[in-house]
Amino acid sequence: MKIFIDTADINEIREIKDLGILDGVTTNPSLVKKTGRPWKEAVEEILKECAGLPVSVEVVATDTEGMVREARELARLGDNAVIKIPCTEAGIRAVKALSAEGIRTNVTLVFSPLQALVAAKVGATYVSPFIGRIDDIGYDGLAVLEEVISIYEVYGVETEIIAASIRHVDHVRRCAELGVDIATIPYKVIKQMFRHPLTDVGLERFLKDAQEAGIQI
Ligand code: G3P
C-alpha cells in the first residue's frame, strides 16, 4: 500500500518524507487554510519539495469550464501536480476533458461506489473515497471502500483508489488488509503507526539487561 500524507504543512511533509515512507501528498482548501499561508506559496513549496511524487491540489471552481481552466493552471505549477476535482456532474465532465489532455486527476469527495465508477469511466487517475466522513454520519466507510475495490477489480479498472478521510490507525490497518492502492493519512496518524507500548516496555528491559550484563558495542 502506498502512503500519502494528507496535509498542506511543509514541515509535516518534510519529516515524513525524510523517514523514507512517503509516496505522495494530498491537499485540499481546508488543509491549506490551516497552515495560515498564502495558497500559491504553500502549494508551490510542496510541489518543489516533493518533486517526483504526486501532489494533489484542488480546484475551487464549480463549473466545468472553470475547473478545466484552473486545472490547466495548476498543472503548469509542477510536473507532479495532480488535480483534485469534486465528484459532481460538472466535475466528471472536467475530468473527461483533462484526461484527453493528459492532465492527471484525483476525483475527490467520493462517498459511493457509483461515484467511483463514473470517475473511472472518464479516466480519472485517482479516486478518493472519504471513509471517515462516511463513518461520521453513521454508515460504514470501510464497507464502501471495499465495494469500490471489488467493483474496480471485476472490471480491471486502472484508476488508483486513495482511501481518504482517515481518522485513526485502525482505519489504516483495515485499508492495508483490503489491499487498497493508497491511503492518504494525516501526520498524527502516520506518527502513531510507528508506535506500540510493548516496543517501549521491551526496549526499556533490553537496555536495563544490557547495562547489567556490561554489554557495550
Ligand atoms: O483530503 C481529503 C480528506 O482526506 C479529508 O479528510 O478528515 O477532512 O474528512 P477529513
Per-residue model confidence as pLDDT tens digits over 31-76: 999 999 999 999 999 999 999 999 999 999 999 999 999 999 999 9
Q: Which residue has the cell 494533489?
A: 56
* Rounded Cα distance, 187 and 9, in Å: 9
Count Cβ atoms below 10 Å from residue 192 Cβ, excluding itself: 14
Question: Closest residue (by CA) to atom 7 of ligand 1?
Answer: 165
Distance 126 CA to ligand 1 centre (A): 15
pLDDT-derived band at 110 (thresholds 50, 70, 90) equals very high
Task: Say if ligand 1 is within 6 A of residue 8 CB.
Answer: no
Q: Which residue has the cell 454508515?
A: 139
Side chain identity at residue 118, one-letter code: V
3-state secondary structure of 9: coil
Please, are residues 98 and 71 in contact by the beta-carbon 8 Å criterion?
yes
Task: Say if ligand 1 is within 6 A of residue 28 CB.
Answer: yes
Q: Is the dihedral of CA 125, 87, 39, 20 positive or negative?
A: negative
Task: Say if ligand 1 is within 6 A of residue 168 CB.
Answer: no
Query: For 53-64, what is each residue's pLDDT tens digit?
Result: 999 999 999 999
**pTM (predicted TM-score):** 0.96
Distance 35 CA to ligand 1 centre (A): 15
Mutation test residue for ligand 1: of 31, 33, 43, 130, the one with most atoms within 8 Å of CB: 130
Q: Where are the alpha helices (DSSP H) in 112-164?
A: 113-121, 131-136, 141-155
Q: Which residues make beta-bridge pairs with 5?
A: 25, 185
Task: Say if ligand 1 is within 6 A of residue 4 CB.
Answer: no
Question: Mean pLDDT for the chain?
Answer: 98
Q: Which of 2, 17, 33, 84 is catalytic?
A: 84
Mutation test residue for ligand 1: of 9, 28, 109, the one with most atoms within 8 Å of CB: 28
Told to judge if 188 belongs to the known catalytic residues of this protein, a careful annotator would answer no
